[in-house]
Every structure is written in C-alpha cells, then in structure tokens.
Structure 1
Amino acid sequence: MNFRRLRIFVEVVRQDSFSRAADIVAATQSTVSKAVRQLEEEVGAPLLDRVGAHNILTPAGEIVYRRGMKLLADRDDLLVELAELRGLKRGTLRLGLPPIGSSTLFAPLFTAYRRLYPGITVHLVEHGSDQLEQILRAGEIDLAGLLLPTSEDFDSELVRSESLVALLPDTHPLAARSSIRIEDLREMDFILFESSFSLHRIIYDVCRRAGFDPSVVAVSSQVDFVIELVATGLGVAFLPQMIAAQRLHGGVRAVLLEEEGTAWQMAMVWRRNAYLSEAAQAWLDLVRHRQTV
C-alpha cells in the first residue's frame, strides 16, 4: 500500500476537507482527489461517502483510517529509529578483547567511546586470540583485538607494536643483561600463557626455530600470577614491553628479547567484506583517531 496515498487519505478525514488536506500535504486539490480515488481502487471499495460539504467514512473507510494511522505511526517510528542509529543514539557494539594488553590499550578507548556514544550498548567478550578469532569468524562479534598476523579472511587496523621482554627473577645471572636471545634461556623452565593465547604460540615458534622445545612448568591466563611465579624463581616468562613496564615487581627484571618474528602486534580485526554496523564503525574510527594523536 502506498504510504503517500494513505497519508493523504488520513489528512482528508482529519481535516474533513480535500482543500485543507491539500494544504497540509503540500499538494494540489486534484492530486489529493486522485490519491484518494487510487486508494479506493486499491482497496476495492469506497472509503468516503460525500454528504454535502462533509466526508463520511464508509465501513471500509473506517478500517483503512484506523489501520492507516497505525501504519503511518509505525513507519514514522521506524524512520526515527533508523535516524537514531545513524546518529549513534542507539545500537549495539559487539566487541572481543584479549586479557593481555586490554587494560592498557583499550580501557581508555572504551571510556572515550562511552562518553561519545552513551546510548550504545557494548557487548564485551574476553578470550585468548585463538578463541576470539573463532567467535569473530562465526559473526558473533563485530570486531576483535587480535595479534598479527591473522587470516586472510580478515581486515585489520594496527593498534600497537611492541617488543617482547623475558621476565627473570632479579637474582638470576641473566637478569643484569640489557637484552637476551632465546638460545640463552634453553636450560630454563618456562612459564607460559595458555595455548589459546597467541603469545603462547609465538614463544613456542621462536624456541623451535632455535632448535629446542621449552620445558614448561606452569601455564596461566593471569598476568599478575605469571609475574608472581617468576618472582618466586620458578622460571622465565614473556610479556610485551609496554605491559611489563606497567607491572613492575621488585623481584623481577624485564630483559629485551632480541629475536626476529617475536613482535607483539595488537590490531583491531574484522571480517573482510562484512557489514560493519554504525556502532562498530564508530569504534574503529576512534581506534584510528587515537593512533594519530
């Protein structure tokens, strides 16, 4: 049913006049008459009984008028909601973030986003990179914080690139060095993050390139717990330099790991050619803006 004709008909009934309705809808009187006639043809029944100077609704006209007002109101509500989405007054951002680095990299962005778009609901999930990638691929989230490189199925925006550091007990002979190679740690026990974390895979890969498999004595998903284990002398662990610097511990020393292919490159990632909602696009725009200021 044509909404323009329906609105004209409703105004004719409201104004009880074709001429006044024409003024309301900014049309000529002949256009109004034609629109009502076309609506009657579409319905297949007369809608108005013209008695003298008045227009009386027929039974069919009463139905069309009553239902028509609701249809027009619903259409207006629809347009308002879409406008609010475009203006980011409403909507949902489905965001996946990793436990490592999120508090440093994304907490300030999250706060800025909430301040700019208080009407947007943020649905946040936290997992290691491998699980986040699966969730993103399934379309359950719009964007995810993942370590590069990622699958060719994704597009990405680099957020931060950091060197890795080896965390050693401050009493260890190697703790006084300014830098270290993975080969120097061959005989040490390793404390790693869980296998779903990209950092786990990075360390295993660099060890294997050096010709050995690490001796793993503990696996965790908690940064602070890993640092405490290092402080007790249990073994060596690894973190991005930025994160290690913010988690200073009197019993731990951070030594730069000089190995190719160990850069910790955090990126915001989304499915290639996927539709990004206005809310997701606004988050991505904020990420890009924050990298330039």
Structure 2
Amino acid sequence: MRLAIVGAGAVGRSVADLAGGYGHTVTALADSGSAAVDADGIDVAAALERKREDGQVGTAAPEDALDGEYDALVEATPTTLGDAQPGFGHVRTALERDRHVVLANKGPVAERYDEVRELEAESAGGVRFEAAVGGAIPVLSTVEDFGPNNIVAARGVLNGTANFVLTRMAAEGLDYEHVLAEAQDMGVAEADPSFDVEGTDAALKCVILANVLAQGERTYRLEDAEVEGITDVPGSALELAHEDGRTVRLVGEVSGDGVRVGPRLVSEHGDLAVGGTTNIVQLETDHAGRLNLSGRGAGGPETATAVLSDVGRLPEL
C-alpha cells in the first residue's frame, strides 16, 4: 500500500523506516515545514538523513504530501486539544479524497470522534487508530475481534511517564520532584511533563476507548472525563500503601458511568502494578472474563508497529 506520512517525529520517522519491511511504499513524508514526495516512492533513508542534518525532510511544501498519490494517510503529528488541528484537517482532506487514514495522533478521535466517523461514512476510505490508545498493545483490535457489545468495562495504566515516576517513588522512597527530574534527565519525561503527569494523555486514550465501546450511542470528549494526575501524590502515601501490601498507579477507567483517571491503590502483586514505562489494559468481557493486555505503550518503533498493523488491515481501494 502507498503511504503518505504526515508528522516526522519519533513515530512518523519510525513508520517511514519500517514500512518497506511490511511491504508498503512511502510516497510522501512531511514535517511541519517541508515534505519529500514521489509517486513512485521516496528515498526514505535520504529523507531521514536530511531531517537529522538539516531539520527538514525534503524540498516540497508540507501540503504537497496530502495532495500526492497515496492509498493511506498516516497522521502522526503531535496531539492537540479542542479543535484537534491540524490533525483533523489532514483527516478530512484524505477522506474527502477517498483515501484511508491511520492515526497515531489522539486529537481527532478524542475531541472530534463523531465528525471523523461522519467523514468516514461518506468516504470510500476507512479510519483506524490502534496506535492512539496503547502504543504497541493491540487494545482496539482485541475489542474489534470480541465485538464492542461484549466488552462491559475497561481499565488500565496507560501512561509510561507517570508509571515510571510512581514506580521509582515506591521503590526508592523518593519524592515526586526528585523522580520527575530524574525521568527528564533520562528522556522518559518531557521538559514540560504536564500532559503526562496531570493525567491528560491517559484520559485521551480512555476517551477514545470509550467512544469505540459506545458505538455511536454517545460521544465522549476530554471535557467529559474526570481527571486527576499524580503531581500531588506524596512519597508518604506510597510508603503507607506498601505497609498494606499495596502501591499507587495512575489508572484510567471506562464504564457505563463514564471515564475516570486518577491515582488508585492497587495490590503490589496485582496485574495493575506494572513497573517502569510498561502499560496494561484490562478488558472486562461478558463471556470470557478479564483480558489483560500489556506491553510497551509508547516509543517510536513500538507505536509504528501498531500503525503498520492497522495499515495491513485496510482493504484495497
């Protein structure tokens, strides 16, 4: 399949780098200020090298990627809230051209899910977004296989940065600020970590999952979620929890009551007590009990595998 990749951060670059191994051809790669475009397939290695050396992937304009020849648009620009632009506009452009869309960007399906589905209904193209929920973890494909009607609730640890911080606080008896600084030095946390530690990232993932499970009966947005982060979790709370055989994790919950994200006490030896940057999602099913899906919830190559798995599920146009 011919891919146009918009967004040349860690995920977009990884998709471009790995696409050939999955049997796909990259016909466009765009960053915020440039694009490499070739209907017969761009030189991915050269584009990525140019990005490393010059900060741009090519000499064409970014919009040329959307206007070029491709079967599926991979939308990997940074997640934005509210109007979810420019990602939503890219989705609209591709679907109006009867092209498929695969999203790593959470914004369009967290903030404008109903509009994305309406555009999809009027297009020959389809929309998939596995990578927007659990990185490499096949959450949405599992829901699809079981059928959303058969999933009654979901919960999980869905942010690696927050989980790393809580894991280190518990293991070393350190306070939040100390561990956060350590995480930033290691590259686990961003210079501005608020999106992760305030619970926004986990909430967006839960909102997307809630939208899928609702099957159009209602639409959720970030503003509908109850969200509390980990910034106010003291080290003493983790020490007290340990004395009782428990620990604290930032847990997202999706149920008939809505979407909630916040610090929760969990058993130290329970499934939700994953360590470091590992993520886990638990799906409660009607007839198969609880399913635990765990793995790497972030990272360029990891998330790219989810994107390319989605591409592989798309029908030929």
TM-score (norm 1): 0.28
Flag the structure with larger Rg: 1
TM-score (norm 2): 0.26
